């Protein structure tokens, strides 16, 4: 599989060029940052006690985004909860790129490229 001439690469490149790069440019032009750049003096501590300090087997096997429709719903809900309407509007583009990537992965035949050097 070539990583430069398939639908997945084209979808990812379009997503980056048309969605992600413009968001970065507008964030850099604005006065807000996507994350804190310095400590918040109003907080006594950033430490939070975790409600579940240890992971369980269910944490590793719980189904998550089993299909693209669920991915679209969960991604939109997550970004909506964060107040990122710009990302919510782009959810269909992210899902389309994920679909293209998934389809490309299914086309692989399991053969190792002759350009990959395998060491034992």
In three-state secondary structure terms, 10 is: helix
Is the confidence at residue 22, as pLDDT, over 80? yes
Mean pLDDT of 31-39: 78
Cα–Cα distances (Å) from 106 to 2, 28, 102, 114, in that order, read 14, 38, 6, 20
**Residue 77: its pLDDT value, please?**
93
Per-residue pLDDT tens over the stretch 79-109: 999 888 888 999 999 998 888 887 766 656 6
How is the chain split into domains, by residue range? Answer: 65-106
Per-residue pLDDT tens over the stretch 50-75: 888 898 888 787 777 778 888 899 99
Cα–Cα distances (Å) from 67 to 11, 62, 73, in that order, read 18, 14, 10
Average pLDDT of every residue of the chain: 81
Per the CB < 8 A criterion, the answer to whether 94 and 75 are in contact is yes
Please give the angle made by the CA atoms of 94, 61 and 80, to the nearest 5 degrees.
35
Burial class of residue 90 in the structure, from the number of CB atoms within 10 Å of its CB (0-12 exposed, 13-18 middle, 19+ buried): buried
């Amino acid at each position: 599989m070539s990583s430069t001439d398939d639908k997945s690469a084209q979808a990812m490149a379009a997503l980056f060029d048309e969605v992600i790069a413009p968001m970065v440019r507008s964030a850099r032009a604005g006065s807000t940052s996507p994350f804190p750049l310095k400590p918040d003096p109003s907080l006594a501590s950033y430490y939070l006690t975790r409600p579940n300090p240890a992971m369980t087997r269910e944490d590793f096997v719980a189904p998550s985004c089993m299909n693209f429709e669920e991915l679209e719903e969960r991604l939109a809900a997550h970004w909506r909860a964060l107040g990122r309407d710009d990302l919510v509007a782009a959810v269909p583009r992210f899902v389309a790129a994920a679909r293209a990537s998934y389809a490309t992965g299914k086309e692989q035949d399991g053969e190792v490229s002759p350009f990959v050097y395998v060491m034992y």
